[in-house]
Structure 1
């Protein structure tokens, strides 16, 4: 009997540890997901464009296909890479984060540039429009969306990894990253599904007539403006988060400006308004991170368009010729 009681005590103790671990995983997953807000918002802002021009019956299936591709990107490809980095090259995490942050700054600045210069021929989202129609167009749209998602997912998973304590065991890091991957993908593409079907829902209410018709018409009128606001918020989040990542990375590598200046300025502003000190500190920090991010992004635009893109094109052409020669 005493042996059974001891066994039950051991089971209870193990259950408590397991419950605490689950709570810890959930809490850290939420924190890590929140840190990746910039990339998440941009993902949600960009994805609805991929279903433009399709029949309403194909919108949700396309979103589901992109969501499956996103889960594959995060869980099958990026999660193992993140764990390998954590185990064998943790020193690479900060530089990779900075590269991802710089990319966010570039993408955000490029969107601002196109908003200010709508006649510019170059557009980083031109592949969204595609050519042709029917199945071929759907395939190209889904492929383009999954490629774009891969870049954003890589940034999300790297940010999430950086938010996990180094001392955590590898299995816990894997579980946290898995929860982050599922949580963010479900949130982003659930939101996208609601956005792309909102017009149809509004039209359905309007056609039914009665007391709900006005609500339906209101939804239809509201959605175009909402999409514009979502795009603006997504762009602002990209340059803010991207700037913050690069500034923090520079600080960790020993370059303490502008990190220290922004920190001191935000602290001084918070002291001036003690009633909302936390909010003011965050707002001032985000503002200057965003200023840094947009400046960095504008610096990177000519580098990307005049140097990096031609170089990638040349390498593709070289490998293409090599493959043809091999055949």
Structure 2
């Protein structure tokens, strides 16, 4: 009896040691996963500031906090459990779902590009819209739009995180995915908050109480940030097209091989290989977005006739 009890204790001890050794790998797995999703993180950072541009400056941090909170909730309570369940019961469904999300990103990116080339009409429509809604409603609309875009990028992040630990024990999968969700959300939205408040920092540094060199730096920041945020908005639009098309391309063997061959052909010049891949995906994203828009318009027309 005693020997059986001690044998059980030995088994429990071995299990605890194995679990501890497995958890020791978590920081490495988190770092590896974060590196894999760095491109999507950059895209997320570039896309978000445009949702607070033009709103009350005193509300900027509050809006970013609301978006970040919803992003973290989505990652932890919706996307991570969904990835675990799909990975266990229906791993085949993950890729099609991500491809649908990629199509949405292409659609949204195409609409942004289209609005750039129909500026007068867009400004008139936006002016009419602003007359019809209150600042609070506009803020709600911006937050909802940011969350819709974020959930697609977050789904891709969580999917990649899961792919890195799919062969690991369940406790490792949970810990790594939660760690990645928290770290990336804090990093992205912390940096976005710094970006949108940089002009306020510049105004503070430009005060007479500081050294002339510091004042000059502050005035330079104030002048530079509007141009930088505008450029970042263009980068964010391009990122939607690029990431959306790349998600779809990786879900289709033929296009996945084409992208791989393109990278391999230019592998000796990494920067050119990256640029060529990004450009090819952005052009493909425009084409996909155009098709999706036509399908959406057709669906609306059919639906309105039925009503």
Coarse TM-score class (shorter-chain normalised): 0.7 to 0.9
1:65: how far off? 2.3
1:190: how far off? 0.4
Corresponding position of 2:196: 196
- Residues of 1 paired with 2:124 and 2:180: CA distance? 31
1:113: how far off? 1.5
1:296: how far off? 1.8
Corresponding position of 2:21: 17
The answer to whether the aligner puts 1:232 opposite 2:234 as a matched pair is yes
- Residues of 1 paired with 2:65 and 2:271: CA distance? 37
Equivalent position SS for 2:206: helix
The answer to whether the aligner puts 1:307 opposite 2:298 as a matched pair is yes
Equivalent position SS for 2:194: helix
The answer to whether the aligner puts 1:182 opposite 2:186 as a matched pair is no
Corresponding position of 2:264: 267
1:2-36: CA deviations, max 9, x gaps? x9xx9xx97995586145322343234313432xx
1:297 to 278, 283, 289: 289
1:175: how far off? 2.0
Asked whether the 8 Å contact 1:78–1:157 carries over to 2, the reply is yes
Greater mean deviation of Cα atoms: 69-78 or 237-246: 237-246
Q: How does 1:167-178 map to 2 (within 5 A)?
A: 167-178=167-178
TM-score (norm 1): 0.75
Relative to 1, partners in 2 of residues 1:53 and 1:115: Cα closer, same or farther, differing over 3 Å? closer
Asked whether the 8 Å contact 2:29–2:165 carries over to 1, the reply is no
Asked whether the 8 Å contact 2:34–2:180 carries over to 1, the reply is yes
TM-score (norm 2): 0.79
Asked whether the 8 Å contact 1:240–1:290 carries over to 2, the reply is yes
- Residues of 2 paired with 1:24 and 1:268: CA distance? 31
Q: How does 1:120-159 map to 2 (within 5 A)?
A: 120-121=121-122, 131-133=133-135, 138-139=139-140, 141-159=142-160
Relative to 1, partners in 2 of residues 1:203 and 1:309: Cα closer, same or farther, differing over 3 Å? farther
1:138: how far off? 4.7
- Residues of 2 paired with 1:244 and 1:202: CA distance? 37
Equivalent position SS for 1:119: helix
Asked whether the 8 Å contact 2:166–2:173 carries over to 1, the reply is no
Asked whether the 8 Å contact 1:78–1:154 carries over to 2, the reply is yes
Corresponding position of 1:115: 116
Asked whether the 8 Å contact 1:25–1:175 carries over to 2, the reply is no
1:136: how far off? 5.7
Corresponding position of 2:166: 166
Asked whether the 8 Å contact 2:105–2:149 carries over to 1, the reply is no
Corresponding position of 1:31: 35
1:234: how far off? 1.9
- Residues of 2 paired with 1:146 and 1:125: CA distance? 21
Corresponding position of 2:3: none
1:202: how far off? 0.8
Structure 2: 5+ residue stretches without partners: 1-5
The answer to whether the aligner puts 1:250 opposite 2:266 as a matched pair is no
1:223: how far off? 0.6
The answer to whether the aligner puts 1:88 opposite 2:89 as a matched pair is yes
